[in-house]
Chains A and B, each alone.
Chain A
Amino acid sequence: MPSRDEIDSQPQTEKLEDSEEFIRLFTRSQRRLFLYILSQVPNPVEADEILQETNLVVWKKSHQFQPGTNFIAWSCRIATYEVYKFRDRRKREKLHFSESFLQQVADESLERIEDDEERHTALMECMKRLRSEDRELIQMRYAPGENGKSVAKILGRPVNSVYQSLGRIRRVLLECVNRRLAAEANT
């Protein structure tokens, strides 16, 4: 992991005259940053928290970012640091993955978020192609603050059957996305 010093020691560049570019990069990076963090801390609420902390640091250090260099890579380094800080605070009581595993995943994750834009477009297409009842269920599940359990309660269905349905729909989506990406790569 990069140390705080390493991040701080980046050459000071002149503050972006027009912060527009930085804002654009920042806003466009958000989902990818979130996914990058989530791959290491696979709980959306926690990942969100880390993202917010990362954001604060990204803003604070905006003057250190060198225009023209890879913004995602730069902010992911900050995120990595925030993931470790988060883990430290957790005092290892609820740490799920080991540190060595995280490093392994982090590098591959950084590589993979490159094609996030295509992946995302494909996902949106696949969502449209779901059967309407499946789409409704998945939308209920992923509405802010909901989870499989709460959805089962709302629908009055057994929790396990809802888990099963959700699992099936996720797999349908995953296959659909991969198929679309493969088709695109071939054309």
Chain B
Amino acid sequence: MSHNKNGHRAELFKLFDALCEDRLSSQDWTRLEKILSADKKARKQYLDFVFLHGSLVWNAATDTETGTETVYANRFRRFLDHHSFEETKPQPVKNKIRTDSRSHVTSITPVENGKGRVTLAKISSAIALVFIAGFVLVFVWNPFTPIGNSSPKEIVRNRSDLNRNEQPQITLGPLKLPEVDNKRSIVDFKPLEAPRPINRDLIVPFHGSDDVAVVALIDKKIREAWKEEHLEPSAQANDHEWLRRVYLDIVGQIPSLEETNTFFADNRPYKRNQLIDDLLSDPRYVRHWTTIWSNLLVGRQPNEDVDRHALERFLRRSFSENRPWKDIVSDLVSAEGRSDENGATNFLIAHLNNQAVPATAITTRLFLGMQFQCTQCHDHPFNNSKQNQFWELNSFFKQTKKVTKRERNGVSGKLKTFSVLENRLLGGPSYYENRQSRMRAALPAFQGHKINDDAGTNRRQELARLFVSGNDTLVATAMVNRMWAHFFGFGFTAKIDDMGPHNKPSHPILLKRLSREFVQSGYDLKRLITWICSSEAYRLSSRFGEHNTVDNPEIGRVPWFSKMYVKSMTAEQLYDSLLVATGVTAVQRGTWDDVQKEREDWLTQFVVNFETEENDEASTFEGTISSALLMMNSPVIEMALSLKPGTFLEKTTVKKISRDEKIRLLALAALCRNPTAKEMKFFRLQLAQKTPSGQTKATKHARILQDIFWAYLNSNEFILIH
């Protein structure tokens, strides 16, 4: 028997291999079935093998951790969309093969991401494809026809469309741009003009002399450290580099072509400071920081108890009025009321589960820059935090309760669900179990300050008060450190939200002084940003100089800010920047809400929820080219890169300007710089190629320009902030 089995095994594997390569003869099939029907073990091996083969096909043999569900769902949706984009009359199409920008998308190796979410909205445009004698008739029904009305017989599809082997592929190989060397953070492009030294006397306008003093302080302290470390800073960033950086950092997207041109044409010596000022009063500033803080406060993952829009309204108002940061924090910590009316309540509503442990942990992490969550179970191994401190802090949330309520709208009669953050009149301690399994009691206390523990004291109001009293508050230090890290990629401590004696800051005096200045300014966020962006360090190039190659925090060293560290765009920055570069908003259909919805759907694909006790989540968006490719897997991006009338690409291709000028415009729109000589030479060669038969010269040029734009947008340089 065993001999038989071994014999089978060798034969089976041979058959399996032939199966994978579609090389089984009809006798082989019969033989395979015979072995499999008789032997359960063989069937198990068959399934193992088929599943392996199928998974490899499914993933195109990449070794990325997560599943391809979203890609696949998007592909499916694209298939539906594709047909609903067609003319509304029945139209005979013979084995249609698409050759527009979509083909770029379908030729991409599937890139995986975590939990996928797609909308059903477009699916509801009912589709029936009738396959008749080699013809495919495409009917598109009224988009408002509910699904489920068509008879099953009509659902036969255009086969060629989904057949992988027949997908047209446009080779982008030769058009690949030089890649940015991530490890060395050197951006390989030639500046248009030599970096101009900035005359510091001309740094106006400022809000007041205080600002000049604070910037001088930053520069002094940073320079002192350079000297101690024997570092010489990199050169100044040129206008291109700096412009793109400051736009992405302050307003969350790249400048438009007009904005780039305006800036270059500006000859005022203090134009950089002027721009910082302008950007801080730009509506996009409000939007960018609202995005950042709603993600930090409640995460990207949708949560049915949380009214995200109300939270965003609260943040929008706070940032547009430039409310003091301490007031914003106080509101978030002490909020009460309905989730839809008081947007600030949503922060705690999102984290009140599990005896408010996440609320305690996230409050300390975000606003105080400290990690207390380990101490919920034991004393901190590295610093002096004791377990009781965590629970004393937790005790501030003891009175807080989340209630879900329903209400019928007086006009429409619709039931609406909302959450209410209530304060109950409770007093006394919170209880926890220590390592010896003994129950312990903790009364509310923060940094040694005890408060009245009776039922009449509103504990969260007391906590908010304690958070922001004094001239040296953790709230200020944490925010300064966080802001610094936002602009430089690295903060003063190795982890910005894990400060403490175990994690010493690189520039302790500077951090302390800046925090105090921030408190003195009345927790003025815009001034804090102005200080940081006006500093010498923020104006440096992202390229290494000769004498600072050791200043490389990416490999775990202490950052000395002698160059600008390269940051990756966030998913939001990338999406919004693409819209800016491609001018797709001009041709997008639908209402503002539709456009927002599409953006949100696209963004949520990157979120992974860890479902830990602290409500952790992570974005799987890594700021890599593969993420960028995944990003292209969206109808809006497809449209952006199409030659549809109205897109930036289309407008550029039909402009009556030289080819060189067209290429220049594409480079400028995507990367805020001119094409390099090397790129120019290569692109000219492409354009000079013979026109394929059956194509007009104009079509050929348009296609090549499309490829060039695609290559720019897909370059490493696009996705990085340098």
Q: A39-B50, A163-B17 are in contact. Are A144 and B60 (CB under 8 A)?
A: yes
Q: A28-B67, A96-B24, A144-B60 are in contact. Are A48 and B162 (CB under 8 A)?
A: yes
* Nearest-Cβ distance from residue B120 to partner chain A, whole angstroms: 5
* Nearest-Cβ distance from residue A106 to partner chain B, whole angstroms: 11
Q: Is A45 at the interface (CB under 8 A from chain B)? A: yes
Give the number of chain A interface residues (Cβ < 8 Å): 71
Mark each residue of chain A from 153 to 186: 1 if its CB lies under 8 Å from any CB of chain B, else 0: 0000000000100110011011001100000000
- Expressed in whole angstroms, the Cα–Cα distance for A147 and B123 within the complex equals 33
- Expressed in whole angstroms, the Cα–Cα distance for A85 and B22 within the complex equals 22
- Expressed in whole angstroms, the Cα–Cα distance for A4 and B120 within the complex equals 25
* Nearest-Cβ distance from residue B9 to partner chain A, whole angstroms: 11
Q: Is A38 at the interface (CB under 8 A from chain B)? A: yes
Among residues 24 to 67 in chain A, which have CB atoms less than 8 Å away from a CB atom of chain B? 24, 26-28, 30-31, 34-35, 38-39, 42-45, 47-49, 52-53, 55-57, 59-63
Name the A residues within 8 Å of B37 (CB-CB). Answer: 100-101, 104
Q: Is B49 at the interface (CB under 8 A from chain A)? A: yes
Contact assessment for A27 and B17 in the assembled complex, using a CB-CB cutoff below 8 Å: no
Q: Is B694 at the interface (CB under 8 A from chain A)? A: no
- Expressed in whole angstroms, the Cα–Cα distance for A97 and B35 within the complex equals 12
Name the A residues within 8 Å of B24 (CB-CB). Answer: 96
Name the A residues within 8 Å of B64 (CB-CB). Answer: 124
Q: Is B413 at the interface (CB under 8 A from chain A)? A: no
Name the B residues within 8 Å of A97 (CB-CB). Answer: 29, 33
- Expressed in whole angstroms, the Cα–Cα distance for A19 and B19 within the complex equals 39
Which residue from B13, B47, B109 sits with its C-beta under 8 Å from A112? B47
Name the A residues within 8 Å of B302 (CB-CB). Answer: 20
Give the number of chain B interface residues (Cβ < 8 Å): 69
Contact assessment for B147 and A62 in the assembled complex, using a CB-CB cutoff below 8 Å: yes
The residue on B at minimum CB distance from A46 is B163
Name the A residues within 8 Å of B50 (CB-CB). Answer: 35, 38-39, 42
Contact assessment for A27 and B69 in the assembled complex, using a CB-CB cutoff below 8 Å: yes
Which residue from A4, A48, A143, A163 sits with its C-beta under 8 Å from B109? A143
Q: Is B117 at the interface (CB under 8 A from chain A)? A: yes
Name the A residues within 8 Å of B109 (CB-CB). Answer: 143-144
* Nearest-Cβ distance from residue B275 to partner chain A, whole angstroms: 42
Contact assessment for B47 and A144 in the assembled complex, using a CB-CB cutoff below 8 Å: no
Contact assessment for A174 and B52 in the assembled complex, using a CB-CB cutoff below 8 Å: yes
Among residues 112 to 131 in chain A, which have CB atoms less than 8 Å away from a CB atom of chain B? 112-113, 116, 119-121, 123-124, 127-128
- Expressed in whole angstroms, the Cα–Cα distance for A142 and B14 within the complex equals 19
- Expressed in whole angstroms, the Cα–Cα distance for A57 and B154 within the complex equals 11
Name the B residues within 8 Å of A30 (CB-CB). Answer: 68-69, 72-73
Q: Is A88 at the interface (CB under 8 A from chain B)? A: no
Which residue from B36, B60, B163 sits with its C-beta under 8 Å from A142? B60
Name the A residues within 8 Å of B167 (CB-CB). Answer: 144-145
Name the A residues within 8 Å of B56 (CB-CB). Answer: 123, 138, 141-142
* Nearest-Cβ distance from residue B301 to partner chain A, whole angstroms: 11
Which residue from A45, A143, A149, A170 sits with its C-beta under 8 Å from B17? A170
Q: Is B21 at the interface (CB under 8 A from chain A)? A: yes
Contact assessment for A24 and B117 in the assembled complex, using a CB-CB cutoff below 8 Å: yes
- Expressed in whole angstroms, the Cα–Cα distance for A94 and B72 within the complex equals 28
- Expressed in whole angstroms, the Cα–Cα distance for A113 and B51 within the complex equals 9
Name the A residues within 8 Å of B13 (CB-CB). Answer: 167, 171
- Expressed in whole angstroms, the Cα–Cα distance for A149 and B21 within the complex equals 8
Q: Is A23 at the interface (CB under 8 A from chain B)? A: yes
Q: A4-B152, A42-B19, A166-B17 are in contact. Are A120 and B55 (CB under 8 A)?
A: yes
Which residue from A42, A44, A60, A127 sits with its C-beta under 8 Å from B148? A60
Q: Is B510 at the interface (CB under 8 A from chain A)? A: no
The residue on A at minimum CB distance from B58 is A31
Q: Is B196 at the interface (CB under 8 A from chain A)? A: no
Contact assessment for A31 and B69 in the assembled complex, using a CB-CB cutoff below 8 Å: yes
Q: A53-B155, A98-B33 are in contact. Are A138 and B61 (CB under 8 A)?
A: yes
Which residue from A57, A112, A139, A148 sits with its C-beta under 8 Å from B152? A57
Name the A residues within 8 Å of B123 (CB-CB). Answer: 59
Q: Is A135 at the interface (CB under 8 A from chain B)? A: yes
Name the A residues within 8 Å of B150 (CB-CB). Answer: 60
Contact assessment for B51 and A35 in the assembled complex, using a CB-CB cutoff below 8 Å: yes
Contact assessment for B165 and A45 in the assembled complex, using a CB-CB cutoff below 8 Å: yes
* Nearest-Cβ distance from residue B413 to partner chain A, whole angstroms: 16
Name the A residues within 8 Å of B70 (CB-CB). Answer: 27
Contact assessment for B51 and A39 in the assembled complex, using a CB-CB cutoff below 8 Å: yes
Name the B residues within 8 Å of A44 (CB-CB). Answer: 53-54, 57, 164
* Nearest-Cβ distance from residue A78 to partner chain B, whole angstroms: 11
Name the A residues within 8 Å of B454 (CB-CB). Answer: none
Q: A147-B22, A166-B21 are in contact. Are A127 and B63 (CB under 8 A)?
A: yes
Q: A24-B115, A124-B63 are in contact. Are A174 and B49 (CB under 8 A)?
A: yes
Contact assessment for A121 and B65 in the assembled complex, using a CB-CB cutoff below 8 Å: yes
Name the A residues within 8 Å of B206 (CB-CB). Answer: none
Name the B residues within 8 Å of A147 (CB-CB). Answer: 21-22
The residue on A at minimum CB distance from B47 is A112
- Expressed in whole angstroms, the Cα–Cα distance for A63 and B148 within the complex equals 9
Give the residue among B53, B70, B107, B302 with the most A Cβ atoms within 10 A: B53
Name the A residues within 8 Å of B14 (CB-CB). Answer: 167
Q: A142-B61, A167-B17, A170-B17 are in contact. Are A123 and B76 (CB under 8 A)?
A: no
- Expressed in whole angstroms, the Cα–Cα distance for A149 and B23 within the complex equals 11
Q: A27-B70, A144-B107, A166-B17 are in contact. Are A139 and B51 (CB under 8 A)?
A: no
Name the A residues within 8 Å of B33 (CB-CB). Answer: 96-98, 101
- Expressed in whole angstroms, the Cα–Cα distance for A121 and B64 within the complex equals 9
- Expressed in whole angstroms, the Cα–Cα distance for A14 and B61 within the complex equals 40
Mark each residue of chain B from 599 to 626: 1 if its CB lies under 8 Å from any CB of chain A, else 0: 0000000000000000000000000000
Contact assessment for B155 and A57 in the assembled complex, using a CB-CB cutoff below 8 Å: yes
Which residue from A27, A119, A135 sits with its C-beta under 8 Å from B51? A119
The residue on B at minimum CB distance from A121 is B65
Which residue from B54, B55, B61, B157 sits with its C-beta under 8 Å from A139? B61
Which residue from A45, A127, A128 sits with its C-beta under 8 Å from B164? A45
* Nearest-Cβ distance from residue A65 to partner chain B, whole angstroms: 12
- Expressed in whole angstroms, the Cα–Cα distance for A170 and B57 within the complex equals 12
Name the B residues within 8 Å of A105 (CB-CB). Answer: 36, 43, 46-47
Which residue from A28, A61, A112, A149 sits with its C-beta under 8 Å from B69? A28
The residue on A at minimum CB distance from B50 is A39
* Nearest-Cβ distance from residue B240 to partner chain A, whole angstroms: 36
Mark each residue of chain B from 165 to 197: 1 if its CB lies under 8 Å from any CB of chain A, else 0: 101010000000000000000000000000000
A-B contact pairs, 12 of them (CB 8 A): A20-B302, A22-B120, A31-B68, A35-B55, A38-B54, A42-B19, A44-B53, A47-B54, A60-B155, A62-B120, A123-B52, A127-B63
Contacts beyond the supplied A28-B115, A163-B21, A170-B20: 16 A-B pairs with Cβ under 8 Å: A31-B68, A38-B53, A38-B54, A45-B164, A45-B165, A47-B54, A59-B147, A96-B24, A104-B37, A123-B55, A135-B61, A138-B61, A144-B107, A166-B17, A177-B48, A177-B52
Please give me the 6 A-B residue pairs with the lowest Cβ-Cβ distance, nearest first: A142-B61, A127-B63, A167-B17, A27-B69, A27-B116, A27-B73
Tell me the B residues contacting A by CB distance below 8 Å: 13-14, 16-17, 19-22, 24, 26, 29, 33, 36-37, 43-44, 46-65, 67-70, 72-73, 76, 79, 107, 109-110, 115-120, 123, 147-148, 150, 152, 155-157, 159, 162-165, 167, 169, 302
